[in-house]
A and B are shown apart, each in its own frame.
Chain A
């Protein structure tokens, strides 16, 4: 199976990287944050970029995945498959809880995708926004999910390998999707819905499918997130602000470009951290100065985005992909 070769290579490379970076905790922690954001951005790009629908409730799907998988794995944590080594058994349970979280999020995607049959543009955006808020309210009022305090004590299963393997899978998925009739149909809907329909594309069902696969991956990202945070609360990490953050990433990267989503997610996640490092160096001995400069991070971040949108409104990559450059030489994508 030549088509599975990239998967084998990715597993080997990621395992090596995991071993190599195991000692630097800060790096690993940052890489987990980055990885989760990449999965979120690439998956949202399937709805907003490829299909041209406008969803601003991605954090809601992430929350569904996070809370459901956390709950599942806290239950499963009491058991162990005796015939397997401890680590393997735990990772297996972790995988199961991620799958459940992703599937539940996908189910929610189906439910939210249904109104997209009738709604367009702003109206659909409001439905997705509402969904994101509803999820948070539901979590806050469900004792089993910890209410407003959220869940703490989720087993810390997420590793460098699991996050970046998810990143690899979602990128491979997005890329292969786009190189198939299904992906082309999604793009046709973005370009001209009436024409797509007239050319035999079942636009309604394709829009729902885009929502389902996209929210599945958002749910997986949420599950990964829940398993390296010691506590998850129905607050900032899943709020509207988080949804907008992901939207900003894909817009900055170029709507419709998976490469763009990846690059923008990496840069925009690391930028505040990098600025913090720079400012602390500049502030140096004067702690008060360092702190007041640190306050500038958010405005600078915003300013950068404004400048970027003014100078390059189509985003970093437009709708281009990094692998298009190689394709000319090598022929068909792998």
Chain B
């Protein structure tokens, strides 16, 4: 197995007769900052949804941290280290910024049983699967009681969660908005809050779906710096979907271009920009023999 954190192998997905994505290939390693571009309806968000488990690929395989995740539920894939933001912001609108991030932050808790082994059991065959589920249920049951009795250990975890949530808000420049309801934040800050929330799950790979949409030029410039910073600070691999060419060309070291679900180009930004197929997809067919 390669050391790719996220690896899509010939992933295709069909909705009825429509081929939304065909033979999509992608590899994200630690420290990568890659871009996924293409005109409207090219299949970029579909690709995100396949990678994060919202859709089941018709063909091909997706690996996260070396584990095949075809057919796993989004929350399980998230726990393996893949976090995302949404194109049409999906914050918990009626909650404060702090609560938004707190929901994502995992307690620094020592489980009763070895997590990895329980998960492995649950994915295996019966009767091991039943045992795994039972162990999981016991652990969970215990955790509810700890929460209801507010044991010292639980309170300590809660403080830990809050501290980390506040740290993340600070990183994203939202310290002054901690107690503000998410729906009251300006657009740009909502986008940043979504990133903070995604970081709360301690991802190894971060997928950003049009993080700069709706931002002004100034905010976009700041965001570019921030994304680079995040990569080094949290040792992430990042994949960005973006319409804004300037932003993509500015920060991404590698681009994949989609059009009608097909990968029409991939490589370094400069090379991609010069690729006639890409120009065609974006600007329409070049006038023949002008």
Contacts and interface: CB of A to CB of B under 8 A. Distances in A.
Nearest to A173: B148
Q: Which DSSP category, helix, strand, loop or mixed, fits chain A's interface?
A: helix
B75 interface: yes
A198 B74 contact: yes
Contacts of B147: 176-177, 180-183
B86 A195 contact: yes
A200 B75 contact: yes
B89 to A, nearest CB: 9
Q: Max chain A CB contacts within 10 Å: which of B79, B86, B144, B155?
A: B144
Contacts of B143: 182
Q: Which DSSP category, helix, strand, loop or mixed, fits chain B's interface?
A: helix
B102 A199 contact: no
A202 B139 CA distance: 15
A3 interface: yes
A188 B103 contact: yes
Contacts of B99: 184, 187
A188 B99 CA distance: 9
A191 B279 CA distance: 41
B197 interface: yes
Nearest to A184: B103
A183 B73 CA distance: 21
A191 B92 contact: yes
A196 interface: yes
A194 interface: yes
Sort chain A's interface into a size bin.
Answer: 20 to 34
Given A180-B147, A182-B147, A201-B103, A195 B92 contact: yes
B163 to A, nearest CB: 13
A197 B75 contact: yes
A188 B73 contact: no
B94 interface: yes
Contacts of A332: 155, 158
A187 B93 CA distance: 11
Interface string A1-42: 101100000000000000000000000000000000000000
Nearest to B82: A198
A194 B154 CA distance: 28
B161 interface: yes
B144 A199 contact: no
B283 interface: no
B75 A202 contact: yes
B92 A182 contact: no
Given A191-B93, A195-B92, A200 B151 contact: no
B79 A199 contact: no
List the 6 closest A-B pairs by CB distance, nearest first.
Answer: A180-B147, A191-B92, A3-B150, A195-B90, A200-B78, A199-B104
Given A181-B161, A191-B95, A200-B75, 15 more contacts: A177-B147, A180-B148, A181-B147, A182-B143, A182-B147, A187-B99, A188-B92, A188-B103, A191-B92, A191-B94, A198-B74, A198-B84, A200-B106, A332-B155, A332-B158
22 contacts: A3-B149, A176-B147, A176-B150, A179-B158, A181-B102, A181-B147, A182-B147, A184-B102, A184-B103, A187-B92, A187-B95, A187-B99, A188-B95, A188-B103, A191-B93, A195-B90, A195-B91, A198-B52, A198-B86, A199-B103, A199-B104, A199-B201
